[in-house]
Copies of this chain bind each other. A is one copy, B any other.
Amino acid sequence: MRTGVLWGVGVGPGDPDLITRGAARAIAGARVVAYPTLAGGSSFARAIAADLIADGAREIAIDVPMSRERAPAQAAYDDGAARIAAALDEGEDVVCLCEGDPFFYGSFMYLHARLKARFEIRVIPGVTSVSAASARVARPLAARNERVTILPGPLDEAELATRIAEAEAVVVMKLGRHMAKVRGVIERLHLTERAIYVERATLPEERIHPLSEAPEVAPYFSMILIAKGGDPWL
């Protein structure tokens, strides 16, 4: 019997209109869809693609616990990968819904790492939250021969300071509980006036503020853009 193919499908940053035509077709045709959920809550990726999922499709929710330790999340991906593998072994294709782009800081990599040796995996790239944020603030992210540096907020303070100092265009992703630290680094580099805060770009609850007016507490799906040269953001 034919083994199924695992599809990693990017659903874009939030607005369902930013799902690609190819991703929409793959999702609509899927008999099995998989997606992460966070700590028993709902799935952001599923919510973005909800209008496309066929009635009667089998759904594999991979519940990732909220923890700073790696082991509980890794156990959740082990379990999710096993359930996906079972469907693939039955000959079913599985469409895994991924926020943004599957291979750009996506949790899909944890499934990919576990399943790539045994199954065919294909990826449909998606619009990243970085592209969405620069569209929404209406300013080019990268122009001409500018370098772009993308930094995860969890990096430690000294590393963030060094990397931001030597960069040109900067994106700091995954702010969450790292917001105060990141803001402090940017202030000490005297770059606050060149920085803009973007939360949940393209969603109805989107928020965009100069960093000086950004909230104290940021969700995971937020970022700061810093433009050292050229026009300011607003």
For A, the interface residue count at a CB cutoff of 8 angstroms equals 55
Given contacts A21-B16, A103-B135, contact A155 B147 (CB under 8 A): yes
Q: Residue of B at shortest CB range from A166?
A: B166
What CA separation (Å) do A119 and B112 show in the bound complex? 45
A214 at the interface (CB under 8 A from B): no
Distance (Å) between the CB of A53 and the closest chain B CB? 15
Q: Which of A88-96, A137-145, A183-191, A215-223 contacts B (4 or more CB under 8 A)?
A: A137-145
| 118-165 of chain A: CB within 8 A of chain B | 121, 123-128, 131-132, 134-136, 138-152, 154-155, 163
Chain A 5-40: CB-based contact to B (< 8 A → 1; otherwise 0)? 000101011011111111011000000000000000
Please pick, from B21, B101, B121, B166, the residue contacting A21 in the complex, using a CB distance under 8 A.
B21
What CA separation (Å) do A127 and B131 show in the bound complex? 8
Whether A131 and B152, one on each chain, are in contact in the complex, defined by CB atoms closer than 8 angstroms, is: no
Closest 5 CB pairs of A and B: A17-B22, A125-B131, A123-B135, A148-B150, A125-B135
